[in-house]
Chains A and B, each alone.
Chain A
Amino acid sequence: MSRVQKYTYFPGCMIPFRLPHFELTIRKVLERLDVDMIADEGHTCCPEPTTFTGVDFEAWLTVGARNVAVSESTGRDTLALCSGCFHTLAIARHMIHSEQDIRERVNSRLKKIGMEATGNVTVKNILHVLHEDIGLERIKKQVVHSLKGISLATHYGCHLVRPIEATHMDDAENPRWMENLIQAVGAEAVDYEDKMACCGAPIAPSDEAKSFRLTAEKLRKIRAAGADAIVMICPTCYTQMEMQQKKTAEYLDSEFSIPVLYLGEMLALAMGMVDLVTSNSRRYHRVKIQSLLEKMGVGK
């Protein structure tokens, strides 16, 4: 009876090719919720917002605007799973939409390839889709395995949330949508100090030591709050805080072993799609999640 809702999927580079289990789990979760993601071959790299901006901001804005124009041509809202991609598309859209001189300048370049961007398209991240479009009630109905007794710390990541005038998130300093999703699957959302602190990844190319000191600080505060695991959305934050978690030991005199789940994995587990998560966990989780799964009552 329910109609399938369709979004244009903006894939970017990191998720589809480096961390495809993000895409896999969220696709299956969205399918359960009657939502479909459709990719468009016209999209390119967003481009990434942490270094390309500082090489040539105009080129960044122009390539971003081209991606916005491709999105506009699909006639659907765009869903960017990656926070970096979301940030770029949201800012490019916002600038084109709100500033006439930028719109004209950028469109004079797009014209050479027969395209135009107006900014009349909605760019969403996964929280907009889950929390605002689908809603907590519809999600709760699909929960077959409550994650009761599990405490989870959120890591939103900076670029998903700020600047608020472009991201249209709930709050720049204390967003709550991810906490609400955690509670919707029966788990407890734990608060910790400096929740919106950066993971450190953006400056890994320029100063690795500083970058990982910030990561270590962040992990220390999460551990102090006693979380069983961290839930996150951004593939860059994930690469920094999960794939390279061991590396932080060099910058703080203790080693961490905090499991990390992508938001799609958390939802898949609560919706009973355990195999989907475990079949890929060896490859994409350097911090073992086995004991977490056992605590959830889904370990084998």
Chain B
Amino acid sequence: MTIGGISSDLEFRNWILQQPEGQTLLRCYQCGRCTSACPVAEIDSSFNPRLFLEKIILADEALAEERLIWTCLTCEQCEVRCPEHVKIPQILILAKVRGLATGNTPQTALDRARSILRQGRTIQVSDPMIKTREKMELPDLGSPPVEQLTKMLTDLKLAKRLESTESRYGGGESE
């Protein structure tokens, strides 16, 4: 279906509306205050949170494929100024989630997610790090119970999806 030159997929909009805080989208009346409060919009006029919400309202799934959605800081400057308390960064997060299926995800985001599932931490803990803690007489923190994460997340099949996902986004190398 095409509305005003955009491809429309109601399934996408309905999915957003069912997700946590997704319903707040319906309160948006397109006033544009979010965009005027946004620090990213200030340095890049193609980043426009009001327009992103318009696209979702019009059920334009192509938003999930836009690289720009990953340049939202999740700083919530927009949200505190929105007269309707629309959860703008949360809605953009949901659009990012939809983009995973086609690899619109920065490499670092995939690396961190894999690391969390594999070792329960975002970073690789090295011997020197542990030695530094010992030298500072800070307590041993043990190792996270990774088996529990795996078991608990089985129905989401995230590990499987991550295995088959390649980032076509690129971005900076993982830290």
Contact = CB atoms under 8 A, between A and B. Distances in A.
Q: Looking at chain B's contact residues, is the secondary structure mostly helix, strand, loop, or mixed?
A: helix
A63 B158 CA distance: 12
Contact of A17 (B19, B43, B108, B129): B129
B139 A39 contact: yes
A14 interface: yes
A210 interface: yes
Contact of A214 (B39, B106, B143): B39
A13 B123 contact: yes
Contacts of A24: 136, 138
A285 interface: no
A90 B91 CA distance: 19
A265 B126 CA distance: 25
Contacts of B75: 158, 162, 197-198, 202
Interface residues of B, number: 63
B144 interface: yes
Contact of B152 (A49, A51, A55, A113): A113
A124 interface: no
Nearest to A279: B136
Interface in A44-102: 44-45, 47-59, 61-63, 66, 95, 99, 102
Interface stretch (B6-14, B55-63, B76-84): B76-84
A104 interface: no
A36 to B, nearest CB: 11
Main SS class of interface, A: helix
B164 to A, nearest CB: 13
A58 B172 contact: no
B172 A45 contact: no
Contacts of A66: 148-149, 152
Nearest to A47: B116
A270 to B, nearest CB: 21
Nearest to B144: A44
Interface residues of A, number: 62
Contacts of B71: 203, 206-207, 210
A20 B121 CA distance: 16
Given A44-B145, A45-B144, A57-B94, A207 B171 contact: yes
B97 interface: yes
A158 B123 contact: no
List 10 tightest A-B contacts by C-beta distance, closest first. Answer: A54-B96, A205-B108, A51-B109, A41-B142, A44-B120, A198-B75, A206-B70, A44-B144, A162-B76, A158-B75
Interface of B: 19-20, 39-40, 43-44, 67, 70-77, 79-80, 93-94, 96-97, 99-100, 105-110, 112-113, 116, 120-123, 125, 129, 132-133, 136, 138-139, 141-146, 148-149, 151-156, 158, 161-162, 169, 171-172
